[in-house]
Chain A
Amino acid sequence: MQNEYDYIVVGAGVVGLAITRSLAMKNKRVLLLERQDFGAAASGTNLGQLSVADRAAGLEIEMVKETFKAYAEVAAEYGLEYERKGGLCTLETEEDIAIAERLVAEKRAKGYNLELLYGDQVRKVEPWIENLKGGVYSPDEGRINPFKVNHWLLQEALDAGAIYLSHTEVLGFEEIEGGMACLSTEGTYTAGTVILATGSWSKELLKPYGIELPMGYIRGTAMVTQAFPKVMNGPVEDGAFFTGNVPDGDTIYFGGVQEENGTIVIAQANRAGEDYNTAIDNEDLTKMAKLFLSHYPALKDIQIVRAWSGNTTTTEDDEPFWGFSEELPRMFLAIAFKGAFSLAPAVGRRTADWLVDGSYDERYEKWSPLRVGRCEEEA
């Protein structure tokens, strides 16, 4: 029996969209299934931050560069609001400064473009910021409008002939001869390969097939202000993400980006959890607002108009799961990419090259879903 599609991609987040687009551009028959609508979960609740400083040298940096190049090419046509005016990681204590001094030196030696700023030097890059001991400035970082990116990827996927079904929830999978069947709320679809790009929903979806991925959830809460005159240049991020120096129990981070329309997205309150959860916690909001105001006291008159939360996935080694699964050999996973907006177009292109042309880079090995079992055996 002939499969209806060459590939079924499950999940229309930024990674699923990018993979769908790249496969469709290779003239493959691709079906994209999404239980809500595109960009509904983490890909529609994030800050659109483009990060470089926290990326590993080698493969990851190469993919980030490839992604930025892809954005630059279509930014004007699709209005992506692609900006790289530099990002600032804030340092609040002398201890942070000491760690940053060591890390910045190490990273610079590896070729990262980073600058350590002391005291009021941070106001050179963010004029209204206050009460900091210093900051790590990364001129290559920036921001993009995540909604516009999702839209661009979907549009080009559709233009290339992909079929997109929203509000179609995948309920399960069946191995069939020469492929896989996806059982969904709208019927059964078959394909040679199923690509799972279901982010934080993956754990639940894979459980019945004996695939136990060690994944956790982080619920991030953010809020957005009314449109306001320009006061922030690039993304501002809590130095904890750079230094790794997180005080015990402290899950409220300082940070934010100002969108092109003037609204400021204030981030972020993080809570680790066992389940997918998008509740908003009052205490978190209050703490987050207070922390933000402690560094931007001049913005005391600004009005918050909305708050929301989204879930991202974490893995034990902080690396994504990318590659075929062991239990279902025709199922390919592409989940848990950290800060996916700095990677997705590259993940899409490389996934299509890998699946269609067999073009495989040995460095992908470290992201293989198969590493889970192996690690346990070795241990």
Chain B
Amino acid sequence: MRVEKHPILGDAGQRETVNITVDGRVIQARKGESISAAMLAEKLRICRHTTKSKEARGLFCGIGQCTDCVMQVNGVPNVRTCITEVQEGMTICTQEGVGTWEAKDE
């Protein structure tokens, strides 16, 4: 749930939107927010599944320390989504284990 009105912080106001894709679904994020925040606003909480027991993991510390919220972002695994800002056109996937990876041609 987005916090649009706040007794101390005031109104969030109109914020520029950014389109990102999470596991194939296009969602509208707000410019400047983290991937985690954009996902929470859509009630998406599973970031990855662990390698051995395939358990779900999501946001935990929110400041980039614990690495529980890592996902595959634009093909790169292990991206900490709580401290990575959304960018227009970003493709985000739930990470299975250590993820999959293919070298990009540059």
Report the contact-size class of chain A (Cβ under 8 Å from the partner). Answer: 10 to 19
The main secondary structure of chain B at its interface with chain A is loop
Is there contact, CB below 8 Å, between A229 and B99? yes
Is there contact, CB below 8 Å, between B103 and A229? no
Interface positions of A from 67 to 113, Cβ below 8 Å from B = none
Is there contact, CB below 8 Å, between A229 and B76? no
Determine whether A118 belongs to the interface, using a CB cutoff of 8 Å to chain B. Answer: no
Is there contact, CB below 8 Å, between B101 and A231? yes
What are the interface flags for A222-237 relative to B under an 8 Å C-beta threshold, 1 for contact and 0 otherwise? 0000111101000000
Is there contact, CB below 8 Å, between A228 and B103? no
Complexed CA–CA distance, A261 and B100 (Å): 14
Residues of A within 8 A of B97 (CB): 262
Determine whether B65 belongs to the interface, using a CB cutoff of 8 Å to chain A. Answer: no
Determine whether A121 belongs to the interface, using a CB cutoff of 8 Å to chain B. Answer: no
Complexed CA–CA distance, A207 and B63 (Å): 52
Chain A residue at minimum C-beta to C-beta distance from B67:
A226
Residues of B within 8 A of A227 (CB): 51, 78, 98
CB distance from A239 to the nearest CB of B (A): 24
Residues of A within 8 A of B58 (CB): none
Residues of B within 8 A of A261 (CB): 51, 98
CB distance from A81 to the nearest CB of B (A): 14
What are the interface flags for B64-106 relative to A under an 8 Å C-beta threshold, 1 for contact and 0 otherwise? 0001000000001110000000000000000001111101100
Complexed CA–CA distance, A349 and B97 (Å): 40
Is there contact, CB below 8 Å, between B51 and A229? no
Determine whether A376 belongs to the interface, using a CB cutoff of 8 Å to chain B. Answer: no
Complexed CA–CA distance, A261 and B50 (Å): 11
Residues of A within 8 A of B98 (CB): 227-229, 261-262
Q: List 16 A-B contacts (CB under 8 A).
A: A226-B67, A226-B78, A227-B51, A227-B78, A227-B98, A228-B77, A228-B98, A228-B101, A229-B77, A229-B99, A231-B101, A261-B51, A261-B98, A262-B97, A262-B98, A298-B103
